[in-house]
Amino acid sequence: NAGVMQNPRHLVRRRGQEARLRCSPMKGHSHVYWYRQLPEEGLKFMVYLQKENIIDESGMPKERFSAEFPKEGPSILRIQQVVRGDSAAYFCASSPQWEQYFGPGTRLTVT
């Protein structure tokens, strides 16, 4: 059973560009979560999704950030018009019920 997959592992974007981060949950897991980790800090919850539904987006910035988990395909975290402050590691986790298993993360660098 493959683990949670994230791609790309590293992403470099210039200010103003769009970043798309992908997450494929573990087989059989219907819950997906996105977290952001700034340097020297713990992970901060952003959004929780189930197939075709956003369950909790209380941790998402109000502008430029969006997330989806379509019926088919991976979950996508999209950041529009990136700024330097968006540079961070973004982790996806999936869960069958309550234990969350993390992917390897995507390190986003905004230049």
Please say which residue, 18 or 56, places its beta carbon nearer to other proteins. Answer: 56
Q: In this structure, what DSSP letter does residue 103 have?
A: -
For the CB of residue 52, give the shortest distance to other proteins in the complex, in Å: 16
Q: Residue numbers of the site for other proteins (CB under 8 A)?
A: 31, 33, 35, 41-45, 48, 55-56, 58-59, 89, 91, 93, 95, 97-102, 104-105, 107
How many residues in total does the chain contain? 111
49-57 CB contacts, 8 Å cutoff, 24+ apart? 49/75
Q: How far is the CB of 37 from other proteins (least distance, A)?
A: 8
The CA distances from residue 6 to 16, 62, 107, in Å, are: 23, 24, 10
Give the nearer residue to other proteins in terms of CB position, either 15 or 44. 44
Q: Which one, 4 or 19, has the nearer CB to other proteins?
A: 4
Nearest to 103, CA basis, from 7, 10, 5, 2: 5
Supply the minimum distance, in Å, between the C-beta of residue 67 and other proteins: 12
